[in-house]
């Protein structure tokens, strides 16, 4: 199944969280917070203005991004847990 987000929405795959702290302590799954970093899988065509012009999104497929803790809607596509969010939920691109 293929999926293409509409308008200003972005499909994101979360980046796995670290399993150890900097001091070497292993973090159990129950104590891990969901990561706020992800990789853009696909993007919509952009926002449409009232005059019909389309403004493309600043992010593109392959970008690593940071997003808010409660951003997006979790979906399951092809057996994989992904997020769909608006571009405005994205805090920035990791360089």
**Inside any domain, residue 56:** yes
**Inside any domain, residue 63:** yes
Average pLDDT, the chain: 84
User: Sorting pLDDT into bands at 50, 70 and 90, what band is 30?
Assistant: low
| Residue that the structure tokens 């952009």 belong to | 46
* Domains contained in the chain, number: 1
The CATH number of residue 37's host domain is 2.30.33.40
**Inside any domain, residue 22:** no
pLDDT winner (highest mean) among 4-13, 15-24, 26-35:
4-13
User: Sorting pLDDT into bands at 50, 70 and 90, what band is 70?
Assistant: confident
The residue segments making up the domain with residue 87 are: 7-14+29-91
| Residue that the structure tokens 């990561």 belong to | 35
Identify the pLDDT of residue 22. 61
**Inside any domain, residue 24:** no
**Inside any domain, residue 1:** no
**Inside any domain, residue 81:** yes
- pTM exceeds 0.85: no
**Inside any domain, residue 72:** yes
Distances (CA, A) of 31 to 18, 46, 69, 87: 12, 37, 16, 29
User: Sorting pLDDT into bands at 50, 70 and 90, what band is 56?
Assistant: very high
CA 72 to chain centre: 8
């Amino acid at each position: 199944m293929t999926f293409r987000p509409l308008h200003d929405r972005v499909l994101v795959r979360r980046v796995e969280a670290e399993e150890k702290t900097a001091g070497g302590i292993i973090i159990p799954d129950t104590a891990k917070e969901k990561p706020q970093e992800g990789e853009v899988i696909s993007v919509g065509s952009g926002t449409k203005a009232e005059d019909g012009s389309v403004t493309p999104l600043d992010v593109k497929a392959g970008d690593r991004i940071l997003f808010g803790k409660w951003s997006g809607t979790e979906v399951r596509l092809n057996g994989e847990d992904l997020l769909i969010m608006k571009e405005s939920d994205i805090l920035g691109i990791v360089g």
